[in-house]
Amino acid sequence: MARAGIITRVTATFPLHAILWDLDGVVVDSFNGHFHAWQRIFAELGEPFSLEDFTRTFGMNNRGILHTLLAREMEEQEFWALSERKERYFRDAIRGNCRLLPGVADWLRRFDRLGLKQAIASSAPQENIDALLDELGVRRWFAAVASGATLRGKPDPAVFLLAASLLRVEPGACLVIEDAVAGVEAAKRAGMRCLAVLTTNPPQKLARADGIVQDLAHFSEEALLALSASGG
C-alpha cells in the first residue's frame, strides 16, 4: 500500500479482501425495467402498484415484494407463475436498454488491479443476472455470482454470506456496495462493511451504511482506505 491514500495493491494485512456488488441500482440502471414489469403484474392482478410501493420494496426478492404488497396469502404455484412472468417482462424490457451506472466500469478495473476478489450478490433470479451481465459485457470481472431469489430475502444476510463463501473470504473482510435500505441492513447483519450509493434512496434512509456517495464516480481510494479502517 502506498502513501497519501493511494493503494497500489492490497496485501494480506489489508482489512478488505472482497467486494460484493448488488446489481440493480448499483451496477446497472434497471429501475424502469423492474417498475414497468411489476406494473404489468399488479395490473393483471387488479391491484394498485405505485412508484412509492416500488421504491420501498426495491432490493427485496420477488417473494418479499409480493408478501409485502398483497394483502392475501398466495399458493406456491401462483407465486412461481407470477414471478416467472414478471422476470420475463423485465428481461424483454432491458434488452438493448441498460447501461452501467457512473463510475462502475472504472471501479471494476480498479478493484481488480488492487487484487480484490469481486462477486455479484443480488436478490434477482439467476436468469436476470445472466441477462444483465451479458448485456453489459462485465461478467469477466466477477469470480462468483450469488442469486438470492430462492434464499431468505434481504434484509436477511443470506445472499451476502453465500457470496463470501463462494469467494472463500470471511464476511468481515468484505465490502458490500448497495443502494437499497434492505440491502444495507443485510450487509450489516452479515458483519460486513457497506458503501451505499444514492441511486434509489435519500441518504437519511441509508444511514446504517459505513459510507455514502452520490455514485461511484464520486468514490475515491482515500474513501476506500477509510472504509477499510472502519470495521464491520
In a domain, 4, yes or no: no
Cα separation, 181 vs 155, in Å, equals 8
Span 79-105, pLDDT tens digits: 999 999 999 999 998 888 889 999 999
Percent of the chain with pLDDT over 90: 77
Instruction: Indicate the residue among 39, 60, 94 that finishes a domain.
Output: 94
Residues 6+ apart with CB under 8 A from 157: 186, 187, 189, 190
Query: 147 and 118, same structural domain?
Result: yes
Query: 63 and 22, same structural domain?
Result: no
Helix residue spans in 95-209 (DSSP H): 104-113, 126-136, 158-167, 181-189
Q: Max CA-CA distance within the chain? A: 60
Q: Flag whether pLDDT at 157 surpasses 80.
A: yes
In a domain, 197, yes or no: yes
Instruction: Indicate the residue among 65, 94, 123 that finishes a domain.
Output: 94
Q: Flag whether pLDDT at 41 surpasses 50.
A: yes
Query: 74 and 173, same structural domain?
Result: no
In a domain, 11, yes or no: no
Query: 141 and 202, same structural domain?
Result: yes
Identify the pLDDT of residue 185: 97
In a domain, 191, yes or no: yes
Identify the pLDDT of residue 9: 58
Q: Flag whether pLDDT at 40 surpasses 90.
A: yes
CATH of the domain at 132: 3.40.50.1000
Identify the pLDDT of residue 12: 55
Q: Flag whether pLDDT at 224 surpasses 80.
A: yes
Identify the pLDDT of residue 3: 37
Span 105-152, pLDDT tens digits: 999 999 999 999 999 999 988 999 999 999 999 999 999 999 998 899
In a domain, 8, yes or no: no
In a domain, 72, yes or no: yes
Q: Flag whether pLDDT at 58 surpasses 90.
A: no
Query: 222 and 108, same structural domain?
Result: yes
Query: 106 and 82, same structural domain?
Result: no
Cell of 13: 494485512
Query: 203 and 103, same structural domain?
Result: yes
Indicate the range of 48-52, 58-62, 169-173 predicted with least confidence: 58-62
Mean per-residue pLDDT of the chain: 91
- Predicted TM-score (pTM) of this structure: 0.84
Query: 137 and 103, same structural domain?
Result: yes
Query: 216 and 193, same structural domain?
Result: yes
Identify the pLDDT of residue 2: 37
Q: Flag whether pLDDT at 27 surpasses 80.
A: yes
**Average confidence (pLDDT) over 143-165:** 95
Q: Residue 77: in which H helix or E strand, if any?
A: helix 76-94
Cell of 189: 447483519
Q: For residue 223, give Cα distances in angstroms to 73, 201, 211.
A: 45, 21, 8
**Average confidence (pLDDT) over 208-222:** 96
Identify the pLDDT of residue 149: 87
**What is the residue range of 64's domain?**
31-94
Query: 218 and 115, same structural domain?
Result: yes
Query: 106 and 84, same structural domain?
Result: no
Domain count for the chain: 2
Identify the pLDDT of residue 31: 85
Cα separation, 84 vs 101, in Å, equals 26
Identify the pLDDT of residue 72: 82
Q: Flag whether pLDDT at 227 surpasses 60.
A: yes
Confidence of residue 200 (pLDDT cuts 50, 70, 90): confident
Cα separation, 98 vs 194, in Å, equals 25
